[in-house]
């Protein structure tokens, strides 16, 4: 029997440049994708309305963006700063 948490919260191995900040952001990105999937499912099935889903996704996106900035992802490659 498969562990319930392994089924609900799948994790894929990281295949990029192995640096602590990249691996941390990858984990945050996977969590973001999982949470978005749940929100979409709740909205599709009528458990939350579209405005609630939008606001939750917007909040989660801001958190992911903040994580990217705090970890310094993209700065060393010379990418210009993103606009909000």
pLDDT band at 16 (very low <50, low <70, confident <90, very high): confident
The answer to whether position 52 is within a domain reads yes
Contact present, 48 and 38 (Cβ < 8 Å): no
The answer to whether position 82 is within a domain reads no
The answer to whether position 83 is within a domain reads no
The answer to whether position 81 is within a domain reads no
The answer to whether position 64 is within a domain reads yes
The answer to whether position 77 is within a domain reads no
Domain that holds residue 31: 17-71
pLDDT digits (tens, 9 = 90+) for 29-64: 999 999 999 999 999 999 999 999 999 999 999 999
Identify the helix (H) or strand (E) that includes residue 4.
helix 4-8
Tokens (6 digits) for 22: 């990249």
The answer to whether position 58 is within a domain reads yes
Question: What is the pTM (predicted TM-score) of this model?
Answer: 0.71
Q: How many domains does the chain divide into? A: 1
Instruction: Identify the weakest region by mean pLDDT among 22-26, 54-58, 76-80.
Output: 76-80
């Amino acid at each position: 029997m498969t562990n319930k948490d392994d089924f609900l919260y799948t994790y894929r191995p990281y295949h990029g440049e192995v640096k602590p900040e990249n691996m941390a952001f990858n984990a945050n990105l996977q969590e973001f994708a999982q949470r978005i999937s749940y929100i979409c499912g709740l909205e599709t099935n009528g458990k939350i309305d579209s405005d609630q889903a939008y606001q939750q996704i917007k909040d989660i996106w801001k958190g992911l963006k903040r994580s990217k900035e705090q970890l310094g992802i993209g700065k060393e490659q010379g990418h210009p700063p993103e606009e909000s």
